Every structure is written in structure tokens, then in C-alpha cells.
Structure 1
Amino acid sequence: MIYTVTFNPALDYITDVPDFREGEINRSCGEKILSGGKGINVSIVLKNLGLESTALGFIAGFTGDEIERGVRSFGCNTDFIKLNSGLSRINLKIRSKHETAVNGGGPLIPREKIDELFSQLSGLSDGDILVLAGSIPPSLPADTYETILERLQEKKIRIVVDATGQLLLNVLKFRPFLIKPNREELEELSGRVLKGEKEIILACKDLQALGACNILVSLGGDGAILVSETGGVYQSAAPRGKVVNTVGAGDSMVAGFLAGYLRNKSLPEAFRTGIAAGSASAFSENLATGKEVSALLKTMKG
């Protein structure tokens, strides 16, 4: 089974205001409300690609109930931990001449609820896959990711970590199966500007020396690079298409990678499917569907 963890999920309220004016009453010409969060996005795309997963994390109040309802509406399994007080956050995105975002803070997560999550994860079995995605809310200990990986290191679980900065660096010693930085995040981890593919690959190998197994670097319109644990390096341009919305594209790439890998344990197939899924989401208002991913795969070489 695949499990995804979203520590601070949200309701994403997206509104279109063609001529947004600060300090005045503005009227929307369209809006939608989605259950959001990196791990949740991974679960939804996995389901669209025909794979079951269970979405874990913390929810609170009526907004938390709506987040769970939204995730389940896609056919996903959920086992969220319900907090006794507070509200899951709402993230506001105003789409106009310039895009403006206001992200909520989220509820306080008490120690006993953190322990409940640890107890959930202790039930994972050999062969399971765990996806840890996104930042840690202020109410959680800064070493939460480390604690999780340390507790699970004796089990044969493939762990995917999609995080940034020190949060990611601190868990590399536990040999995560996959990490997925974009170019800017890889530069932050490396402490230098990376000029060209050779420097990107060398930076990935530096992270492998610290413990990372497979490193998938998303390069936006320039495609992606995979430096694998077997020593292979795979590069691919992005499929052609009009970028509509990049939110969730990276999460879709993670889901696509896992879907491709689980078919026959092929890293090249995982790489191609990851690129196709990430691009399909970028080319759509919504997260990638199986049909969209299949169509893009047919256009890709290799």
C-alpha cells in the first residue's frame, strides 16, 4: 500500500478577478474550492493512474471535514487524524493580471496527536511506500521527518521525501528511496548556482553521497533529470503543451514516477511517467488524469 502524509492540508479557494483592485469591492467571475496539500495531490493523481493509496495527516473543524470529503470524492482512501479544536486552513488564490495568494496558518497540533500519527505509521509493513511531502507546521517539532524515518528504518519501506532545505538534508542519512527537488531547490541544497546539466548531475551525486537513492530533478519547461541509485542518469525534455497551472505539477510528477516504477520496477519507465504526469497537470486546470498522462506518454521518445 502507498501512504501519503500531508501535515497541514488546506481548502484552496481559487477565484478569478480579471481586474483586481486593492482596497475596493471586487467581484469574481469564477471560483472553485479544492482539497489541497502536496501529499493529497499525490494521492489524487495516483488514483487517477489506477493506484490505491491512503491519505494521512491532520484535519480540524468544518474545513477539515470538507478537505476529507473532497479527497474521498476522487475515490481516495483517507485516515486523517481529527483534531479536537481549531480549523484546517483556507488558502486564497486571486487570479488576475497578477496572481495573489494568501495562505492560512493552520491549527495547533498537540503532542498526543503527533504520537497518534507515529502510531499509525508504525503499522506500515515491509513493501509499503510512504510519501512525506511539504513543510512542517510551526506547531510540529522541526525534526518530525527525521523521527519518522528513524522509526521506520528497520522496515523495508520505500520512502519518498518531497521537502526543501534543511528539512530534506537532515533525512538523507536514512536513505530515502526518492527525493524530488526542482532546480532552485537543488541550488539551495548545493549552496551554489548550477550552470548546465553537468553541474546539476554532480550536485545530485553529492546528495547521493549523503544517502539519497534516486534523485528526480524537475526543470520546468526544460524537462527533468533522474540520477538513479544504480548509477544511471536519465534526461528528457518536457512534452510540448501550453502551461495553464503549475500548482500540483511537482506532486503529479512524484505520483507518476511511483506509478511507472510499480508497473515493472523500471526506473526509466518511472522517469518517463513522472514527466508525463507532471506535464499533464501543468497543461490542465486540474490534476492529471490517466487519459491525459497516457496521451503525453505516446508523444515522448524513449
Structure 2
Amino acid sequence: MEASQRMSAQQILTLTLNPALDISTSTEQVVGAHKLRCSTSRVDPGGGGVNVSRVIQRLGGRSIAVYTAGGPVGEAYRRLIEAERIPSVVVPVQGSTRENFTVDETSTGKQYRFVLEGPELTEDEWRACLDLVIQAVPPGGYVVASGSLPPGVPDDFYARVVRLAQEGGARCIVDTSGPALRGALAEGVFLVKPSRRELEEYVGEELNSPESQVEAASTLIARGSAEYVALTLGEAGAVLASTSGVVRLGVPTVKVVSTVGAGDSFLAAFVLRLAQGRSAEEAFKAAVAAGSAAVMTPATELCCRGDVERLEAGLLAGMP
């Protein structure tokens, strides 16, 4: 059986402190002060780490998703995760799990995304998440800390997760922004996946040229902030930086339907292929394939395995 069809050889743990019930719909035109008649809505369980686990499962791998859930929305969220049979551990919280809304404007093709703030977590609740990380760190495997931090959670939370993963013999992958990203990079992560905007915010300057993008990613490597930097650039492709050098990859030509979930799909394929024993460059190509496959699907739908494997095969064929 091909490696891409096997379950991951090394265990993957994902962590989502601020999950969201993603609701998507469409209307002909978004106009202020009017009732907008919308199409049938779609509901998906979203949030960085959870989406990573969902894509890993779609690609034939296995992970354990740790996430918070509270209130009626949290209960609906939990049922959706159970329906997809994602191995998971839930941390109950007092506040209600948030909701996000995506509206496609059919007359223009524009997409409007409304991201709500999550519930405030108590110290006992966010510490319970850390305790679960301690218990579930997979030695020799990967811990994926992904998504925003909800109110009440300290900025150094992901930095603490990095330390716990390292102490447990696992490699930590981080996908977040702002102070949470800064704290994690100060600890030194295995892999970080910033978007261009997130990296610009981190370095404090615009990265308009390919040269400036490569320099910023390479600087993180030189400082020991990360072993790998996977910089995603949307339709401009992606950059992978490490001590071995820099690889830049363009995206396959596909029809863009919705960009929601592209980054999570990218990260999921990357970590899964690494866990399956693939090289970093092979994993990078799989990641670009998965991110490209995700934009082919509507609304908050994630990538489809067939699309990922087809695009991945094309990218791998171009390897020396």
C-alpha cells in the first residue's frame, strides 16, 4: 500500500482552544439595512486544530483532537465531531462555543467572513487543556497547536505547549498569530506556518517582494525560532525555509470557489506526510496540493482526498 494511503506511523495530537461552529450560506447581494434572503445554510465544526484533524482523517491518517466546548453551540459542535468519528478529547467550558459566518455574494463572487470572539476561559479551564497535553503528548510524534486564543487565556499559552511537547519528546507545530505566535517562537518550534500577513505582523514590516519574504522566513531559522518555516502566500504559492535552504513552490491552477480552510488543509497534509516518513520537501508539496484542493470546495467545506492526491502526484512528478 502506498505511504499516502497508510495511517500515520507517528501519532499526532491537535489542540484547539477556540473552536467555532462554521455557518455558511449565500445571497445575491449584501446590502445594508435590508433583509437578505439566503440559500440553504451549511454547518461545519471549525477551528484550526480540529480542521487539521478532520483533514488528516480524510487523507487516511489518524490524530487525536483536543478541543474546548461549552453551551448549546458546543453540544452541537461535539455532535458534528462525533458524526465524523474524529478521535477526540473535549474540555468542557462554562461559556458557549462561538459561531462564525461566511456569506457568498452570488452577484459578484465576493465572500464575506464574520469571525466572532470566543468565550472567556477561566484559569481552571485553560490549565485543564495544558494538563491534557501533558497526558497525551505522543513521544516521537507531533503536537499541532493551531488557531486563536480565546479571552482569558494568557499570551504565553502556546509557549507553554511548546515546552510541554518538547519535554514529552514530541515536535511542536504552531499556527497562530500576534503575541501567541511571538511567545511560541521565543521557545523554538519544530514548524511554524504563518501567512504573509501574520509574518508581516511578526517582523513589523511589509513583505512585498519574494526576496523580503525569503529573508524573513530564513531569519526565523537562523535565530533558532523554528526548524521549518512554511510561509503561505495564497495564489502566489508558498515558501519552505530550513537549515537546508529555501524551496519556493507555485500553486496548481485550479478554480477558486472558497478559501476557507485552505491553511488548515495545508498544515494537515504537511504534518501527516512527515508522520508517514516523507521528506520535508515531499510533505511541502503535499501541503500545497491540499491547500489548493481546499479552495476548490464551496463555503466551509475542506479538501477532498481525491483532489489532494491528484494534485500531489503532479507536484511530486516535478521533483528531481
Q: Of 143, 148, 151, which residue of structure 1 is paired with 2:156?
A: 143
C-alpha displacement at 1:247, in angstroms?
0.9
Displacement, 1:195? 4.0
Letter in 1 for 2:313: K
Q: Residue in 2 aligned with 1:288?
A: 303
- Cα gap change, 1:223 to 1:103, in 2 (>3 Å): closer
Tell me, what secondary structure is at the counterpart of 2:189? coil
Counterpart pick for 1:118 among 114, 119, 130: 130
How far has the Cα of 1:31 moved from its partner? 1.3
Aligned partner (choices 61, 73, 82) of residue 83 of structure 2: 73
Unpaired stretches in structure 2, ≥5 consecutive residues: 1-10
| Alignment deviations for residues 130-170 of structure 1 (CA, whole Å, 9 cap, x no partner) | 11111111121222112222333322111110011332122
Structure 1: stretches of 5+ with no match in the other structure? none
Asked if 1:232 is matched to 2:245, the reply is yes
TM-score normalised to structure 2 length:
0.88
Cα distance in 1, alignment partners of residues 114 and 133 from structure 2: 32
Structure 1 residue aligned with 2:118: 106
15-24 or 56-65, which moves further after superposition? Answer: 15-24
**Corresponding residue for 1:273?**
286
Structure 2 equivalent of residue 218 of structure 1: 232
User: Does structure 1 retain, via aligned residues, the 8 Å contact 2:12–2:138?
Assistant: no
Instruction: Give deviations 1:165-221, integer Å, cap 9, x for gaps.
Output: 332122223221110112222222222222432322211121121421100011111
Asked whether the equivalents of residues 47 and 74 of structure 1 are also in contact (C-alpha less than 8 Å), the reply is no
CA pair 25-196 structure 1, distance change in 2 beyond 3 A:
closer
Match of residue 155 from structure 1: 168
**Structure 1 stretch 145-154 or stretch 214-223: which is displaced more?**
145-154
Cα separation, partners in 2 of 1:109 and 1:276, compared to 1, 3 Å:
same
Q: Residues of 2 paired with 1:102 and 1:220: CA distance?
A: 20
Structure number with the bigger relative contact order (C-alpha 8 A, sep ≥ 6) is: 2
Conserved in 2, the CA contact under 8 Å of 1:47 and 1:75? Answer: no
Tell me which stretches of 4 or more aligned residues in structure 1 moved more than 6 Å.
Answer: none
- Which amino acid in the other structure matches residue 103 of structure 2? I
Given that 2:159 and 2:186 are in contact with CA atoms closer than 8 Å, whether structure 1 keeps it comes out as no
The CA distance in 2 between the partners of 1:79 and 1:178, in whole Å, is 24
TM-score (norm 1): 0.93
Matched residue of 1:80: which SS?
strand
| CA root-mean-square deviation | 1.7
SS in 1 for 2:36: coil
Q: Distance in 2 between matches of 1:158 and 1:265?
A: 15
* Distance verdict in 2 for CA 1:76–1:169, change over 3 Å: same
Could you say which residue in structure 2 is the equivalent of 1:244? 257
Amino acid at match of 1:48: R
Deviations for 1:47-96, whole angstroms, at most 9, x for unmatched residues? 0111111111210012111112212322311111112x331111122222
1:49 aligns with 2:59: yes
Gap change, CA 1:24 and 1:51, over 3 Å in 2: same
Measure, in 2, the Cα distance between the counterparts of 1:263 and 1:128: 11
1:25 alignment partner in structure 2? 35
